[in-house]
């Protein structure tokens, strides 16, 4: 028994999805176009420069694979990582195991379907802590102001602060 849910990724060529990992396993299905994956198993986490930025579904990295020349510290760490390269074409399915760091670049306009799944035990072990963090985040008690889900608006000049 497994609860599954899907994400669809639709985008032009050269779309970059930054380095991150997801808690669930993922069957990544390429529908049209071509994408390249860089994959790093969980034992490479020490080299992945884990970010403090909050994201509901993923754990993010401070490494920006498209701006490594501007990130000397992250680049040095990234250079020590041992990973895998995968290329997916229309009709391919790639299994991305739980907690595997990955970054993705589309070489062509692409449509992809990511199918995530969690067993009841995984929902308890990982889903519960994740939902607790999400609740604390919405209550502004956890990583508020440093997240991918809320856009911080510039306050009027007289207030001179971010809201």
Ligand X SMILES: O=C(O)CCC(=O)C(=O)O
Are 21 and 101 within 8 A, CB to CB? yes
Task: Quote the DSSP letter at residue 45.
Answer: G
Nearer to ligand X, 12 or 145 (CB): 12
User: Judged by CB under 6 A, does residue 25 bind ligand X?
Assistant: no
Please state the closest distance from residue 144 (CB atom) to ligand X, in A. Answer: 25
Rounded-to-integer distance, Cα 156 and Cα 150, Å: 18
Site string for ligand X, 33-72 (x = CB under 6 A): --x-------------------------------------
Q: How far is the CB of 108 from ligand X (least distance, A)?
A: 12
Query: Which string of DSSP letters, residue by residue, matches 129-163?
Result: HHHHHHHHHHTT-SSTTSBSS-PPPBPPTTT-SB-
**Judged by CB under 6 A, which of 25, 47, 100, 112 binds ligand X?**
112
Smallest gap from Cβ 116 to ligand X, in A, equals 8
Piece in contact with ligand X (CB under 6 A), picked from 20-28, 117-125, 128-136, 140-148: 20-28
Taking the complex as a whole, how short is the minimal distance between the CB of residue 34 and ligand X, in angstroms? 11
Q: Which of 47, 28, 51, 45 is nearest to 100 (CA)?
A: 45
Q: Tell me the C-alpha to C-alpha distance, in Å, between residue 143 and each of 24, 41, 53, 83, 147.
A: 22, 26, 7, 30, 7
Least gap, CB of 55 to ligand X (angstroms): 11
Q: How far apart are CA 66 and CA 38, in angstroms?
A: 13
Reduced to 3 states (helix: H, G, I; strand: E, B; else coil), residue 14 is: coil
Nearer residue to ligand X within complex by CB, 55 or 144: 55
Residues that bind ligand X (CB under 6 A): 9, 17, 22, 26, 28, 35, 102, 104, 112, 114
């Amino acid at each position: 028994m497994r609860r599954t849910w899907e994400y669809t990724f639709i985008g032009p060529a050269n779309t970059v999805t930054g380095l991150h990992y997801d808690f669930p396993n993922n069957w990544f299905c390429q529908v049209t176009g071509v994408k390249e994956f860089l994959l790093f198993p969980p034992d490479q986490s020490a080299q992945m420069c884990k970010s403090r930025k909050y994201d509901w579904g993923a754990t993010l990295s401070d490494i920006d694979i498209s701006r490594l020349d501007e990130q000397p510290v992250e680049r040095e760490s990234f250079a020590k990582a041992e990973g895998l390269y995968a290329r997916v074409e229309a009709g391919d399915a790639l299994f991305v195991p739980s907690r595997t760091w990955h970054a993705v670049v589309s070489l062509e306009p692409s449509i992809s379907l990511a199918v995530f799944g969690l067993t009841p035990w995984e929902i308890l072990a990982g889903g519960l802590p994740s939902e607790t963090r999400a609740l604390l985040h919405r209550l502004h008690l956890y990583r508020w102001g440093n997240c991918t889900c809320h856009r911080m608006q510039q306050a009027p000049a007289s207030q001179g602060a971010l809201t």
